[in-house]
Amino acid sequence: MNESAIEKMVALNLTSTIRGTLMAAEHMRKDKGGHGGRIINISSIAGLEEFAMVPVYCSTKHAVRAFTSALAMAPDIPLQGVEYAVLCPSPAATDMFLNIDDVKVRHLDTVPPSVRQAVTAPVECITRGFMKLVSLDQMNGAILYASQTEMTFRRMDNVGGVTKGRGVTKEGSICCGRREREEERERDREREK
């Protein structure tokens, strides 16, 4: 990836998301004459974990996640009437992912096509996650991971809103960090036995 491609990716993935979010919030905020509402930004699994194959992409997606979560922590969220959440999809079968090549992605040869295919979710799995955020009673501060096999809240902080606390709900269960997720998977495995 050359330098201009790096600048373009940062501008497209991060700067435009920051500017777009702030601009939308200005229009939406109840305390500024708007009607309130929800802003859902799109990060990625690459905003939750690190991947050697896509370091620049990964850094922009971590930043989008952090930016959105930081906005959700504002003490004046109830006054704003605006909630902020972030969706973190797994790789999904869109033009972008289906057209990756060894210029856009490093070490692509280390991932067999069969593995790439296996981790690629149908787009519907991701839109389901999006709709979950739309339909929840409260979603401020949510970080929702969506893949073919999982829809997991990695965080659910209504920090400035009505409820407070961290949580991950996967089909009703609560969990908030790596350890809790591992414990939850262990319980799932036990149940499946």
Ligand X SMILES: NC(=O)C1=CN([C@@H]2O[C@H](COP(=O)(O)OP(=O)(O)OC[C@H]3O[C@@H](n4cnc5c(N)ncnc54)[C@H](O)[C@@H]3O)[C@@H](O)[C@H]2O)C=CC1
Ligand Y SMILES: CCCCC/C=C\C=C\C(=O)C/C=C\C/C=C\CCCC(=O)O
23 to 42, contacts with ligand X by CB under 6 A? 42
* Alpha carbon distance 29, 66 (integer Å): 21
Tell me which stretch binds ligand Y (CB under 6 A): 65-73, 91-99, 136-144, 146-154: 91-99
The answer to whether residue 104 forms part of the interface with ligand Y (CB under 6 A) is yes
The answer to whether residue 98 forms part of the interface with ligand Y (CB under 6 A) is no
The answer to whether residue 108 forms part of the interface with ligand X (CB under 6 A) is no
* Alpha carbon distance 6, 142 (integer Å): 28
Distances (CA, A) of 133 to 15, 33, 90, 96, 170: 23, 24, 16, 23, 13
Q: What long-range pairs does 123-126 form, CB within 8 A, spacing at least 24?
A: 123/92, 123/93, 123/94, 125/90, 125/92, 125/151, 126/87, 126/89, 126/90, 126/92
The answer to whether residue 92 forms part of the interface with ligand X (CB under 6 A) is yes
Q: What's the length of the chain?
A: 193
Q: Which of 10, 40, 42, 53 binds ligand Y (CB under 6 A)?
A: 53
Q: Which does 111 bind (CB under 5 to 8 A by kind): ligand X, ligand Y, none?
A: ligand Y
Q: Which does 100 bind (CB under 5 to 8 A by kind): ligand X, ligand Y, none?
A: ligand Y
List active site positions: 57
The answer to whether residue 97 forms part of the interface with ligand X (CB under 6 A) is yes
15 to 44, contacts with ligand Y by CB under 6 A? 44
